[in-house]
Amino acid sequence: MTDLNLASVWEFVADDYGDRLALWHGDTKRTWSEFESRASLLAGALAEVGVGLGDNVARSTTATSISRPSSPP
């Protein structure tokens, strides 16, 4: 791996730990594979509207409390 960036690391994590729990917030649970799939869908949607390599994208969200389990339930 020569180009280390967030996207490539995310893909490696999804490949190696895809079925493991990545997020648990209330009743919502996501695996690393689900995160990777959703990130790919977002990347595709952004590309369709002209966002490309080197472009900056921002997201505004409200503050929330996210629980991170020490081990899957």
Output DSSP code: residue 54.
Answer: T
pTM: 0.65
The per-residue pLDDT for 15 is 92
Cα distance between residue 48 and residue 44, in whole Å = 6
- Where is 24: in which H helix or E strand? strand 21-25
66: nearest Cα among 29, 17, 20, 32: 29
The per-residue pLDDT for 6 is 78
Query: What are the structure tokens assigned to 68, written together?
Result: 């991170």
Instruction: Render each residue's pLDDT in the chain as its tens digit; 73 residues.
Output: 467 777 788 888 999 999 999 888 888 899 999 988 988 898 899 999 999 988 998 887 776 665 555 555 5
The per-residue pLDDT for 33 is 94
